[in-house]
């Protein structure tokens, strides 16, 4: 079995750096809106019986004038899956349940319904296999074709620099994944989603890591532009209600179908960090 410790450290350092750049940009937007809101960072330690080094993470949270609630979490955890869960994870089994996982996860719920909510995460996992996964998807309560087109264009460009098939494949993957079956609707206007970009050797790791970094950079470049484009828009009570109703759908997906939520709960993650994706306020009427 390959020792991926060095590569895990490289990925963790990148995810933490990306977190720092994203949070600084989001705080800059709050300053532009006349707000002094800033992120608070809460470290947490994972616990696992018989494991002297289970890892942990840092939950970053800000509630401001523009960002009603935004969480940016990073974590690096290691240990063993439970026997019943191990068989559901790439490269793991009841006989070989060991894993490491490092990643960044972000969800932003916005005060103004004209500003799209967003989700982004990238991660590196190892079991008997090693792979990258992640993506980003835009979730506007009041969609604008211009915003959707610009968001997709950035991720199309990020994909094109690595593999001409990536964008079409990963866009479809996002469309299929971010769908609420019991409602018969998509969660938002999509983006890209990918998983199991296998790292058979060092060359594959470098190749997939480079792509994952470009995904993070694409998000950092485009999303603040969309926020600044819409954050001063006037809105009506009806539009605010539409946002709150849409948030109910978002919460349903994350609690019923989201694989990241399940992974966090099944591996002893921090509950507050796992559920930071839930909106601060929602309605179901």
- pLDDT for position 201: 94
- pLDDT for position 145: 98
Mean pLDDT of all residues in 263-268: 84
Dihedral over Cα of 204, 166, 144, 179: its sign: negative
pLDDT tens digit string along 65-111? Answer: 999 999 999 999 998 988 878 778 888 788 888 899 999 999 999 99
Mean pLDDT of all residues in 199-217: 97
In this model, does residue 5 exceed pLDDT 90?
yes
272: region left, alpha or beta (phi > 0 left; psi from -120 to 50 alpha): alpha
In this model, does residue 3 exceed pLDDT 90?
no
Q: By C-alpha distance, which of 273, 282, 261 is closest to 109?
A: 282
Write down the mean pLDDT value for the chain.
95
pLDDT confidence tier of residue 282, bands split at 50, 70 and 90: very high
Tell me if residue 119 is catalytic: yes
- pLDDT for position 1: 53
pLDDT tens digit string along 121-162? Answer: 999 999 999 999 999 999 999 999 999 999 999 999 999 999
Q: Which CATH number fits domain 5-136+197-277: 1.20.1250.20, 3.40.1500.10, 2.60.40.1930, 3.30.1330.10?
A: 3.40.1500.10
What is the rounded CA–CA span in Å between residue 15 and residue 113? 29
The pTM of the full predicted model, rounded to 2 decimals, is 0.94
What is the rounded CA–CA span in Å between residue 284 and residue 269? 28
- pLDDT for position 132: 98
pLDDT confidence tier of residue 13, bands split at 50, 70 and 90: very high
Residue 252: phi, psi to the nearest 5?
Answer: -60, -45
Pick the catalytic residue from 21, 109, 114, 119: 119
Higher pLDDT: 109 or 265? It is 109
- pLDDT for position 208: 98
Domain ranges in the chain are 5-136+197-277
What letters, b where the CB count within 10 A reaches 16 and e where it falls short, cover 227-263?
bebbbeeebeeeeeeebbebbebbbbbbeebbebbeb
| Angle subtended at Cα 24 by Cα 151 and Cα 211, rounded to the nearest 5 degrees | 45
């Amino acid at each position: 079995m390959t020792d991926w410790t060095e590569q895990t450290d490289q990925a963790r350092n990148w995810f933490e750096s990306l977190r720092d750049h994203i949070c600084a940009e989001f705080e800059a937007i709050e300053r532009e809106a006349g707000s002094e809101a800033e992120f608070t960072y809460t470290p947490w330690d994972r616990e696992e019986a018989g494991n002297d080094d289970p890892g942990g993470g840092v939950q970053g949270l800000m509630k401001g004038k523009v960002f009603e609630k935004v969480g940016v979490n990073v974590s690096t955890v290691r240990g063993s899956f439970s026997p019943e869960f191990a068989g559901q994870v790439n490269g793991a089994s009841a006989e070989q349940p060991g894993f490491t996982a490092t990643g960044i996860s972000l969800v932003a719920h916005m005060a103004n319904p004209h500003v799209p909510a967003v989700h982004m995460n990238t991660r590196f996992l190892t079991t008997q296999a090693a792979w990258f996964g992640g993506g980003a998807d835009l979730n506007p309560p009041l969609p604008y074709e211009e915003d959707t087109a610009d968001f997709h264009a950035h991720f199309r460009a990020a994909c094109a620099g690595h593999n001409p098939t990536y964008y079409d494949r990963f866009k479809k993957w996002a469309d299929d994944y971010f769908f609420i079956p019991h409602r018969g609707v998509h969660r938002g206007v999509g983006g890209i989603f990918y998983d199991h970009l296998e790292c058979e050797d060092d060359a594959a790791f470098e190749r997939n890591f480079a792509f994952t970094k470009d995904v993070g950079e694409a998000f950092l470049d485009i999303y603040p532009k969309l926020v600044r484009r819409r954050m001063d828009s006037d809105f009506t009570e009806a539009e605010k209600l539409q946002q709150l109703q849409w948030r109910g759908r978002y919460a349903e997906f994350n609690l019923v179908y989201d694989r990241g939520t399940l992974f966090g709960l099944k591996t002893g993650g921090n509950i507050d960090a796992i559920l930071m994706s839930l909106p601060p306020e929602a309605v179901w009427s």
